[in-house]
Amino acid sequence: MLGKILSFGSRAIANNPVGGGRANIATADTARIGQTIEDIVPPLGGARTAQDLRNLVATGSGKESLGNAKDDVVKLIEARVGQIVVPSLSPKPMTLSQANEALTQIGLKGRYTNPLDQTAAGVDWRQLYGKVAQEISGALQQASPQAAASFQEAQRAYGGGNAILKRILSKQNIYQPVGDDLMLNTSQFQRVVGDPKTEAVLRQKLGPGWEAFADTVYRGGTPGTRDVLAPGTGRAMDALRQVYGRGQGGAPQVVGSLARTPAANIGSEYIGRQPYSFPPQLQAILDVMLQRGIGGMTEERRP
């Protein structure tokens, strides 16, 4: 049995994400999350690692890309439709850039002005934002339905992208240091996304893109649930430390450590689509060991 464990175990370490533990699984999950974000909000494309995602916020590159992408769309629309009239802003015609800048300023006032101050001034900035946005869309619709659709999509991408940056990627607890690198803590990521207020904002801002985002984050599982992760990063050395750090030894314990080493992440439970599976031969051997309790392995520790 020992020879079989060594043989199948060595192959499992090389070919199975469990061999690298949580770090390998998180790496694959992160790449999928980055791809989904790119599909939903193209200006935030290219991020495939935890460090990439963090840099979108830390360097300001994410917000800059969102702004540049929206500005590009606005300029293209201006070239097509010329000036528009937005009654709530001015009775005189203006460019879409001017109207969009005014809309942005109204949005900032609505976000950062105390509601009591707004009441005292007789201005509801959030209500005004909605009215102006509607008037801009209406003017564009009259000039060119295609231009109106392009502007709406640019607005959605900008709003959805900012929601992802602010409400998710800016949260430091979703990142876990691994040596000089970072990995995504999938459980914390799911907890942040599952916050009721955050989920409500994402549903509104991402529109149809929310379903794809949720499917990736929860691996097709139930929104609001999250992974239960074993301590550490789940690497093979963690398994050895768990065995020998207690000062235990002997042949059964050696066999147990060899079985645990390729399955170092055995204590973690993942929601939705399972991110890994053992080779059938190794699973059969582990099943026998679990039944016999060899090396301290029990049914409770089965993946």
Distance of CA 96 to the CA centre of its chain: 33
pLDDT at 257: 45
- Cα–Cα distance between 69 and 248 in angstroms, integer? 60
- Do the Cβ atoms of 136 and 86 come closer than 8 Å? yes
pLDDT on residue 269: 85
36, 303, 19, 230: CA torsion to nearest 10 = 80
pLDDT number for residue 31: 97
For helices 96-112 and 125-143, give the axis angle rounded to 10 degrees: 160
Maximum distance among all alpha carbons in the chain? 88
Q: Which pLDDT belongs to residue 262? A: 45
Which parts of the chain have pLDDT scores under 50?
1-2, 4-19, 118, 120-122, 239-264, 294-303
Do the beta carbons of residue 268 and residue 227 sit within 8 Å?
Answer: yes
Distance CA 230, CA 209 (A): 31
Q: Round to whole Å and give the CA distance between 303 and 284.
A: 13
- Write down the pLDDT at residue 135: 96
User: How big is the CA angle at 285 (ends 284 and 288), to the nearest 5 degrees?
Assistant: 90
Residue type (1 letter), 90: S
Q: β-strands 175-178, 181-184: how paired?
A: antiparallel
pTM exceeding the 0.85 threshold for the entire prediction: no
Question: pLDDT by residue (tens digit) across 167-194?
Answer: 999 999 999 998 889 999 999 999 999 9
Beta-carbon contacts of residue 296 (< 8 Å; ≥ 6 apart): 243, 248, 252, 253, 256
